[in-house]
């Protein structure tokens, strides 16, 4: 197991570095690798010697490609971490954040901004509103499904389904009222896209994602204990209710901040943690690290494909992750059914 972990971490780490480098060097704007390196190093004050730097290429890279490369890493990491946390709280490897209404809640917030043309926070309006409404939907689900100071997991799921239904209806209403430009924007946002990523976005997502992931790491031991069941975890000193609320809020934060800027990207939070668990087992600390690395890697590669596959076009990344994640998930299901216990 030690060996497996080491291999996995090194593999993921290496893959991530390679993917990021390749991604930074590729795009529909043809720039020689030397120039890319130069463009990267010059503004950082590092002497890049003979590397030529074309001014337009440099500004193009920094304005367009680099923020996108970084955002892909952050969003991938955040989504994978949130998926793992969700699975820990629900004690079920098939749980995913969409269940508790974060994504669709965030969708309603963002769609409202688009349809009503709100801009009271300037450029931050849509992000802030998606964030706020995603969090609100999650808390609503949580509070409604609580009774007697405890939260039944099944009730949580069912309430999440109800809230999802309501938010979907809200979204349909907004789509109806919106003009078609709004509709187009909303639809593409629902499919997820990193197109148009700006440094302003990165500056919001980065601290939230990083803080969220660090907090998750500190929760790992307690999440391990949660797998023994709620009562047993409590007997071992875990404040289960607080852990649950805290984790759910954390999930909402991580998902909402990703969704607010890149739309709904599915399957990352579902497939990555599951895959990693199959390789290195369920202990949450190493699993979280592996998932964060894996999620970042997946989204980096997916985004590379999304922005270079079709000339002059930018594929919706959520479509790509679903296309790959869906069949993969079916395969996972088939495989785990054969194993005893079915949870592997």
Task: Rule CB under 8 A: choose which of 231, 334, 337, 338 binds another protein.
Answer: 231
Contacting residue, 9, 15, 28, 245, with another protein by CB under 8 A: 28
Nearer to another protein, 140 or 266 (CB): 266
Which residues between 136 and 175 bind another protein (CB under 8 A)? Answer: none
Range 203-222, binding another protein (CB under 8 A): 221
The first and second tokens of residue 28, run together, are: 């529909």
CA 87, CA 67: separation in Å to the nearest integer?
30
338 touching another protein, by CB under 8 A: no
Structure tokens at 216: 């998750």
Answer for which of 82, 103, 112, 113 binds another protein (CB under 8 A) is 113
CA-to-CA distance for 102 and 89, rounded, in angstroms? 15
Contact flag: residue 333 with another protein (CB under 8 A): no
Considering only residues 65-84, where is the footprint of another protein by CB under 8 A?
65
Closest CA to 67 of 192, 194, 253: 194
CB 310 within 8 A of CB 28: no
Task: Write out 146-203 in H/E/C secondary structure.
Answer: EECCEECHHHHHHHHHHHHHHHHHHHHHHHHHCCHHHHHHHHHHHHCCCCCCCHHHHH
Q: Is 91 in the site for another protein (CB under 8 A)?
A: yes
Among 35, 209, 216, 277, the residue binding another protein under the rule CB under 8 A is: 277
Q: Give φ, ψ of 343 to 5 degrees.
A: -95, -5
The Cα–Cα gap between 322 and 317 comes to: 9
Task: Tell me: does residue 22 bind another protein (CB under 8 A).
Answer: no
Residues in CB range of 71: below 8 A, 6 or more apart? 194, 197, 201, 202, 205, 261, 262
Q: Is 85 in the site for another protein (CB under 8 A)?
A: no
CB 272 to another protein: min, Å = 16
Map the footprint of another protein across residues 290-329, applying CB under 8 A.
Answer: 307, 310-316
Per CB under 8 A, 193 contacts another protein: yes
Quote the least distance from Cβ 162 to another protein, whole Å.
Answer: 23
Q: Binders of another protein: how many residues, by CB under 8 A?
A: 75
Task: Please report, as residue ranges, which positions from 244 to 263 form the binding site for another protein (by CB under 8 A).
Answer: 260-263
For residue 339, is it left (φ>0), alpha (ψ between -120 and 50) or beta? beta
Nearer to another protein, 49 or 120 (CB): 120
Q: Which is nearer to another protein, 25 or 140 (CB)?
A: 25
CB of 132 to another protein, least distance (A): 13
Q: Kindly write out the interface string for residues 38-57 of this chain, putting x where it contacts another protein by CB under 8 A and - elsewhere.
A: -----------------xx-
Burial class (CB in 10 A: 0-12, 13-18, 19+), 157: middle
Q: Report in angstroms how near the CB of residue 172 gets to another protein at its nearest.
A: 15
């Amino acid at each position: 197991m030690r060996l497996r972990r080491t291999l996995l971490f090194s593999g993921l780490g290496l893959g991530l570095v390679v993917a990021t480098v390749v991604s930074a060097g590729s795009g529909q704007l043809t720039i020689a690798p030397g120039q890319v390196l130069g463009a990267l190093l010059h503004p950082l004050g590092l002497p890049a010697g003979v590397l030529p730097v074309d001014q337009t290429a440099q500004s193009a890279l920094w304005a367009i490609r680099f923020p996108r490369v970084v955002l892909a890493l952050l969003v991938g990491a955040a989504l994978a971490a949130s998926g793992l946390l969700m699975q820990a709280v629900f004690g079920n490897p098939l749980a995913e954040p969409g269940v508790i209404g974060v994504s669709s809640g965030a969708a309603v917030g963002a769609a409202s901004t688009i349809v009503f043309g709100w801009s009271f926070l300037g450029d931050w309006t849509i992000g802030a509103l998606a964030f706020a409404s995603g969090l609100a939907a999650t808390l609503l689900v949580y509070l409604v499904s609580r009774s007697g100071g405890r939260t039944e997991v099944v009730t949580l799921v069912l309430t999440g389904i109800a809230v999802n239904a309501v938010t979907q209806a809200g979204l349909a209403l907004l789509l109806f009222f919106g003009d078609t430009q709004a509709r187009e924007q909303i639809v593409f946002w629902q499919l997820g896209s990193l197109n148009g990523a700006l440094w302003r976005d990165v500056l919001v997502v980065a601290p939230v994602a990083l803080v969220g992931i660090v907090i998750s790491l500190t929760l790992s031991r307690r999440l391990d204990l949660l797998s023994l069941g709620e009562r047993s975890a409590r007997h071992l000193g875990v404040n289960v209710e607080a852990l649950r609320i805290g984790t759910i809020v954390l999930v909402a934060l991580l998902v909402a901040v990703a969704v607010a800027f890149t739309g709904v990207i599915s399957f990352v939070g579902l497939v990555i943690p599951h895959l990693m668990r199959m390789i290195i087992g369920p202990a949450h600390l190493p699993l979280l690290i592996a998932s964060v690395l894996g999620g970042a890697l997946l989204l980096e590669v997916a985004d590379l494909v999304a922005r270079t596959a079709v000339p002059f076009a930018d594929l919706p990344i959520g479509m790509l992750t679903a296309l790959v994640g869906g069949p993969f998930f079916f395969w996972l299901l088939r495989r785990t059914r054969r194993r005893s216990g079915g949870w592997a």
